[in-house]
Structure 1
Amino acid sequence: MPLQVNDQLSLLADILRSHQLDQCGSDSECQQLERLTNSLLQNPQTPIELRETLIAIQTYSQYSGQSPSLDQHIIQSNGDLNQWMNVIDNM
Structure 2
Amino acid sequence: MPLNHEHQITILKDILSEHEADCCGTVSECEQIERLVKSLMGNDQVHPQVKSVLPDIYAYGQNGKYSADLNSHILSHQQQLSEWVNQLT
Name 1:63's counterpart in structure 2: 63
Q: Which runs of 4+ in 1 moved over 6 A?
A: none
Q: Report SS of the residue matched to 2:7.
A: helix
Are 1:27 and 2:5 matched, yes or no? no
- Cα displacement (A) at 1:49: 1.2
In 2, Cα distance between equivalents of 1:65 and 1:28? 8
In 2, Cα distance between equivalents of 1:49 and 1:82? 16
In 2, Cα distance between equivalents of 1:14 and 1:68? 24
The correspondence of residues 4-83 of structure 1 with structure 2, limited to 5 A, is 4-83=4-83
- Cα displacement (A) at 1:66: 2.0
- Cα displacement (A) at 1:68: 1.2
Q: Which runs of 5+ in 1 are unaligned?
A: none
Tell me how many residue pairs correspond in the alignment.
89
Q: Which runs of 5+ in 2 are unaligned?
A: none
- Cα displacement (A) at 1:51: 1.6
Quote the sequence identity (%).
Answer: 38
Q: Report SS of the residue matched to 1:34.
A: helix
Q: Report SS of the residue matched to 2:85.
A: helix
In 2, Cα distance between equivalents of 1:43 and 1:51? 9
- Residue identity in the other structure for 1:74: I
TM-score by length of 1: 0.94
1:18-55 deviation per Cα after TM superposition (whole angstroms, max 9, x unaligned): 00101000000000000000000001111111122111
**RMSD of the TM alignment (CA)?**
0.7
